[in-house]
Chain A
Amino acid sequence: MGEAVSLSLSRRHEVARALREFLPARAVLFDEEDTRPYECDGLTAYRQLPMVVALPETEEQVRRTLQICSSMNVPVVPRGAGTGLSGGALPLGDGVLLSMAKFMRVLRVDARARIAVVQPGVRNAAISEVAAPHGLYYAPDPSSQIACTIGGNVAENSGGVHCLKYGLTLHNVLRVRGLTIDGEPLELGSEAPDAPGLDLLALAVGSEGMLFVVTEVTVKLLPKPQCARVIMASFDDVEKAGSAVAAIVAAGIIPAGLEMMDRPATRAVEQFVGAGYDLDAAAILLCESDGTPAEVEDEIARMEAVLTGAGAVRLAVSRDEAERLRFWSGRKAAFPAMGRISPDYYCMDGTIPRKRLAEVLHFIAELGKKYGLRCPNVFHAGDGNLHPLILFDANNPDELHRTEQFAAEVLEKCVAVGGTITGEHGVGVEKINQMCTQFRPDELELFHAVKRAFDPRGLLNPGKAVPTLARCAEYGRMHVHRGALQHPELARF
């Protein structure tokens, strides 16, 4: 056994021993078979066994865990359910993986104040479940909502199919309680509007677990709309469907949901769930209206007119709740369906201005031909948030290589048309190089300064989301020399 290995082993035992002073044995894992389940998040191509996994159950235990790690100079990676798609919860080999999974209690539902106070490990969907008896719900609904946690949602600023009308996590969280890396308690935002001082809550939402550990969240609950109906609009041309999206919004309509799927996507999904999609259409749009029955009737009629005017060849309006849910079931099952038709798929997450949808979709289709790879599109069209899914086989090195180049070109295009490399999945480790494309050194430097304000020694989830300037310089050189962006390993689902 080499000296380095035995050193790291003794380090592991030292850290584990320190944590066991206040955590029960079952809450401190370090044997490989126990830490293996934590080696990756939803971006499974990146794997790393953590040195130690800690599973505290109380805020006091989290505080002490952080204090121990801080005093021993051990980096900490927080983790919720591990459904993240950018490697945000990827462990560090010399670090503690801090699982917040045991924080599963709903602390308070106040129907009159329309809020819920929950622990960070509570699943997104569970909040709406406890709010339902009061006619209320929690609006942001990521497709992963049955599994992902509110702590992870806060860290990623997650969205869902209804965020065009109801906002992202940011718009639906009132207050977050947390602990800094030194174990100091922190309250950001408040149940009262406009908390005093700088809006630290805005900074915290979407900070990818790099500023502090979330230990409690107060979310806003909304009244459940009385009814909802969805239109399935078929187009014989993908670009026409893209233009129809802009036309709906231009007509002054904010649909409750506005999603697009192209034919490769509907075909893949249909054989899997039987959602009743029009498989002849080059693309379909799902446009939902919600509100009072009168409002919905009115809005559906207006949307039908716009869609027809934009060249829809067929419209089907859900006749009842069962049909509405069936139309959505295909959309929600789209990712797993891809796993059935391809050994691997790689999900991108760029956002672009709506008016560029048609152009960028065309660009992606051309790239698909250039690289000889299939690339179905299933995405939040109303927000301009693309999710091209490149299908490939990771065991074929050439396909993997082509996928990397394909993805890089798409993300660069998103930035070039005035968009962003990530709309909701976060940067994590996955898109860290593309941050160098989107931001200039001064801006990256400021991000690092923000991080230092919360975590001066860089112990909380280090190495994620914001690249060092040295890394960007290196990346820039590679970029110029090889004429193409390099990706590390890609997703294997």
Chain B
Amino acid sequence: MTLAALQEEIRVAAARAAPLRLRGGGSKDFYGNEPRGELLDVRRYAGIVDYEPSELVLTARGGTALAEVEQALAEHGQCLPFEPPHFGAATLGGCIAAGLSGPRRAAAGALRDFVLGVKLIDGRGRLLEFGGRVMKNVAGYDVSRLVAGSLGTLGFIAEASVKVLPRPSAERTLAFEMAEAPALDAMNRWAGEPLPVSASAWHEGTLYVRLSGSAAAVQAAAPRLGGSELADTVAFWRSLREQTHAFFSGEAPLWRIAVPSATAPLELGGAQLLEWNGGLRWLRSSLSAQEIRAAAERAGGHATLFRARDKSAGAFTPLDPVRLRLHRELKRAFDPAGILNPGRMYAQF
């Protein structure tokens, strides 16, 4: 499939004002509000375009399988530092459009921090390039990072360049029997000390802390923290990243509550699993969206209805009027006909 053909498809859809549903591997179909429109399968536009390990940059087409990208990086001892979830046959473009980061986010940064540039086909079928393959670039507004997490509402990510990093040479996970409040305390305290903590999680009375870095650093830090060593460190963090951990199975709606990390335990009932030093609180609960969003807001955060059969409450925390207006204006700038993934992020655009 050529870019020109994709541009033409979008142009035709725009002329007909016919909504398009951009889709990579379909691994994140569940995420956001219900997808609408005619399917535009972008997996056909795939392949790694450029990868030079010494540049710490990989460039690939949007339809490239995320697994293929990670495989290529692994062969050179590198990785995507934000540990994005696959949730199935993910593509790189879909991964960036979803904007989800995994366990290492609190230590390494979010997905958008690693996006260096994109080639985008906007809602008029125009091919646009923003950012590039270099580490520092302040020419023009940072559109490539705006596109990260935009859920396909601004354009099709035809190609993206991401910053990659060397894989840590050593990794260990320590487990501690601890209640939620002291666990939150420990996570936030350790995050403020010069320790090689690369991930943290708490669930059902156990705090898990992963140390990553040079062998020397990990070895020096482990005895300072104490705890007991977890046998299979890789499998455990993968089960959180890919949500194969038992906590994530079952029918109760899954909420993704984001709060400032040091926020005290949220008294919401239901099962919880904490990540990112407490900044991310997964909740299984059938409480109303209003109740959950109000609690998140009181703590200075927001709540996303992540997986649920009924998303009539809207997947994302509603925007205030000023921000909503900006969203609509930006949508108009990128997609005046409003055909790209309409309603996927917010019903209003």
Seen from chain A, the residues whose Cβ lies within 8 Å of a Cβ on chain B are 110-115, 134-136, 156-157, 159, 163-164, 167-168, 170-171, 180, 184-187, 190-200, 202-203, 205-207, 211, 221, 223-226, 246-247, 249-250, 252-254, 291-292, 294-295, 297-299, 351-355, 380, 383-385, 418-427, 431, 435, 438-440, 442-443, 446-447, 449-454, 465-466
Contact = CB atoms under 8 A, between A and B. Distances in A.
B105 A199 contact: no
A379 to B, nearest CB: 11
B287 to A, nearest CB: 19
B260 to A, nearest CB: 4
Contact of A114 (B55, B192, B259): B192
A292 B55 contact: no
B142 A206 contact: yes
Contacts of B189: 112
A202 B333 contact: no
B220 A292 contact: yes
B125 to A, nearest CB: 11
Contacts of A465: 140
B261 A206 contact: no
Given A184-B322, A294-B219, A443 B135 contact: no
Interface stretch (B11-19, B66-74, B108-116): B108-116
Contacts of A439: 129, 139-140
B129 to A, nearest CB: 7
Contacts of B195: 223
Given A157-B142, A192-B258, A419-B137, 12 more contacts: A192-B301, A196-B317, A199-B99, A202-B112, A223-B194, A252-B77, A252-B166, A254-B165, A291-B217, A292-B216, A440-B129, A446-B143
Contacts of B35: none
A418 B133 contact: yes
A199 B126 contact: no
B178 interface: no
A203 B322 contact: no
B276 A452 contact: no
A194 B217 CA distance: 30
Given A294-B220, A453-B330, A418 B141 contact: no
Interface stretch (B22-30, B86-94, B144-152, B242-250): B144-152
Interface in B159-209: 165-166, 169, 188-189, 191-196
Contacts of A423: 134-138
Nearest to B128: A443
Closest 6 CB pairs of A and B: A453-B329, A449-B333, A192-B301, A250-B54, A202-B145, A423-B136
Given A203-B141, A223-B192, A419 B135 contact: no
Contact of A134 (B192, B220, B299): B192
Contacts of A291: 194, 196, 213-214, 217
25 contacts: A185-B322, A190-B258, A190-B302, A191-B301, A192-B302, A193-B106, A197-B323, A197-B327, A198-B345, A202-B145, A206-B142, A246-B55, A250-B54, A292-B194, A351-B135, A351-B136, A383-B135, A384-B134, A419-B132, A423-B136, A424-B138, A438-B139, A447-B140, A450-B333, A453-B326
Contacts, number: 262
Nearest to B322: A184
Interface in B255-303: 258-262, 276, 279-280, 296, 299-302
A291 B105 CA distance: 20
Contacts of B217: 291-292, 294-295, 298
Contacts of A112: 188-189, 192, 262
A170 B113 contact: yes
A252 to B, nearest CB: 4
Of A194, A200, A424, A438, which is in contact with the most chain B CB atoms at under 10 Å from its CB? A194
Given A193-B279, A197-B319, A249-B54, A422 B333 contact: no
Contacts of A111: 192
A352 B134 contact: yes
Nearest to A246: B54
Of A191, A197, A351, A443, which is in contact with the most chain B CB atoms at under 10 Å from its CB? A197
B192 A199 contact: no
B260 A351 contact: no
A225 B195 CA distance: 9
Given A295-B220, A298-B214, A424-B136, A194 B258 contact: yes
B205 to A, nearest CB: 22
B33 interface: no
Contact of B150 (A135, A198, A453): A198
B142 A170 contact: yes
A384 to B, nearest CB: 6
Contacts of A292: 194, 216-217, 220-221
